[in-house]
């Protein structure tokens, strides 16, 4: 199989598997118990916390572990609302955010929050003037992601945070697809990240919180994570996330250059006739979301079972819902149905990517002949 679905998840790095191994097989102590073994587990978790904090790279805050980035985002949004002063009852977000943000915001709207979902331009980017017109003293929080998971475009997070702060609002950044790949810009008050997108284990994420901007506690119980997110931490998952973050920070430039070269090789191997969905300039290049007139992407996927890639038109959950992101760019049904997403990164070789892209291009051309 050629794996080209890096936005869905990434292969676990060998270094991560090695770091986790003793915590899976031998070391089972509860990290919150006062025994020598408990202390050892707690110390390993604190080392991991430092690595993740460093990979996020922002000053003036700290992280709490969560079970996923989805949980971190739920916590940030619901916890901010719970602590909000009476006059701040508005949330602003974008039509292209991940379901973790959009669905949570919709739920908050049902509970009485005034929700504004801003459209994006044809290239997937936010019009900052539009945001400026919407911002006022009633806004509690602005939620915008750094790198879009479906189309890879990069939103101007620093500028957005600055604008939010000018009216006294908080800024939440979903940096799931950006961590370890790009520098997270200064500005956000809350940042959600996930281990399995950076070659770490699944089912662990974190919420970075600027000091003073912490949302209300999310899970009550044993008082772990400074009383904000109770529940016994998993040393194996925390250590795995820490090892993945350390590696990502160390390899960030090398991985970035590798991805740039892969992008160029993929574009060449695909040949003419493809249109890139979303901005090509403001983009993380490990995400190639493309469409081609007359192609049935679902059929392409069925024809090429040995290549793991995604339909550009289906949302990441695989629910069959049409992509809200491609709709937000203004693509019609036919264009969305002819879109595919290729995601590649650290462990993708140029040879396998070129091989996969050549197969995809040939299968697309074969469809043209079939339906001509």
Among residues 194, 277, 279, 348, the one that binds ligand PLP under rule CB under 6 A: 194
Residues 144-163 close enough to bind ligand PLP by CB under 6 A: 145, 149
Task: Return the structure tokens found at 170.
Answer: 């908080």
Minimum CB separation of residue 299 from ligand PLP in Å reads: 25
| Catalytic (active site) residue 315 | yes
For the chain, helix, strand, coil in percent to 5 are 40, 15, 40
Q: Is 176 a binder of ligand PLP (CB under 6 A)?
A: yes
Of the ranges 22-30, 170-178, 239-247, 351-359, which one interacts with ligand PLP (CB under 6 A)?
170-178
Of the ranges 49-57, 172-180, 272-280, 290-298, which one interacts with ligand PLP (CB under 6 A)?
172-180
Q: Output phi, psi for 165, to 5 deg.
A: -65, -35
Task: Calculate the dihedral angle through the C-alpha atoms of 96, 314, 203, 305, rounding to the nearest 10 degrees.
Answer: -140
Residues 82-101 close enough to bind ligand PLP by CB under 6 A: 98, 100
Cα 79 from Cα 38, distance rounded (Å): 30
Judged by beta carbon, residue 101 or residue 170, the one nearer ligand PLP is 101
Minimum CB separation of residue 369 from ligand PLP in Å reads: 36
Q: Is 69 a binder of ligand PLP (CB under 6 A)?
A: yes
Number of chain residues interacting with ligand PLP (CB under 6 A): 13
Q: How far, in Å, are 67, 104, 252, 311 from residue 317 at the CA level?
A: 17, 15, 28, 11
Among residues 115, 182, 298, 316, the one that binds ligand PLP under rule CB under 6 A: 316
Judged by beta carbon, residue 69 or residue 120, the one nearer ligand PLP is 69
Residues 110-139 close enough to bind ligand PLP by CB under 6 A: none
Residue tagged active-site, from 105, 173, 238, 315: 315
Cα 50 from Cα 55, distance rounded (Å): 9
Task: Return the structure tokens found at 165.
Answer: 């702060």
Q: Give the angle 210-216-221 at the CA atoms, nearest 5°.
A: 120
Judged by beta carbon, residue 102 or residue 270, the one nearer ligand PLP is 102
Q: How far, in Å, are 101, 121, 126, 341 from residue 133 at the CA level?
A: 22, 16, 13, 33
Cα 357 from Cα 238, distance rounded (Å): 36
Q: Distance between the two ends of the chain, CA-based, in angstroms?
A: 31
Q: Interface residues with ligand PLP (CB under 6 A)?
A: 68-70, 98, 100, 145, 149, 174, 176-177, 194, 205, 316
């Amino acid at each position: 199989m050629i794996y080209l679905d890096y936005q869905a998840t990434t292969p676990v790095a060998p270094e991560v598997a090695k770091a986790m191994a003793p915590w899976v097989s031998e070391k089972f102590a509860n990290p919150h118990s006062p025994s020598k073994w408990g202390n050892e587990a707690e110390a390993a978790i604190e080392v991991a916390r430092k690595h993740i904090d460093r990979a996020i790279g922002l000053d003036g805050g700290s992280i709490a572990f969560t079970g996923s980035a989805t949980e971190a985002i739920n916590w940030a949004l619901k916890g901010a609302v719970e602590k909000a002063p009476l006059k701040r009852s508005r949330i602003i977000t974008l039509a292209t955010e991940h379901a973790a943000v959009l669905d949570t915001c919709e739920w908050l709207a049902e509970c009485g929050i005034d929700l504004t979902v801003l459209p994006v331009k044809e290239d997937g980017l936010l019009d900052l003037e539009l945001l400026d017109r919407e911002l006022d003293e009633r806004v509690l929080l602005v939620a915008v992601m750094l790198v879009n998971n479906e189309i890879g475009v990069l939103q101007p997070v620093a500028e957005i945070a600055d604008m939010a702060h000018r009216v006294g609002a908080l800024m939440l950044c979903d940096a799931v697809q950006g961590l370890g790949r790009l520098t997270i810009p200064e500005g956000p008050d809350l940042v959600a990240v996930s281990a399995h997108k950076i070659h770490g284990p699944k089912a662990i994420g974190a919420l970075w919180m600027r000091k003073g901007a912490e949302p209300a506690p999310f899970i009550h119980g044993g008082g772990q994570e400074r009383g904000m997110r109770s529940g016994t931490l998993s040393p194996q998952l925390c250590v795995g996330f820490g090892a993945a973050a350390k590696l990502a920070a160390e390899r960030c430039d090398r991985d970035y250059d590798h991805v740039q070269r892969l992008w160029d090789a993929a574009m060449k191997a695909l040949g003419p006739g493809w249109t890139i969905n979303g901005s090509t300039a403001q983009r993380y290049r490990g995400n190639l979301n493309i469409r081609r007139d007359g192609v049935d992407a679902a059929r392409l996927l069925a024809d090429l079972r040995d290549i793991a890639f995604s339909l550009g038109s289906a949302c990441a959950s695989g629910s069959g819902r049409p992509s809200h992101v491609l709709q937000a760019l203004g693509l019609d049904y036919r264009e969305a149905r002819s879109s595919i997403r290729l995601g590649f990164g650290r462990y993708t070789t140029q040879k396998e990517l070129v091989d996969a892209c050549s197969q995809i291009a040939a299968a697309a051309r074969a469809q043209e002949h079939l339906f001509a």
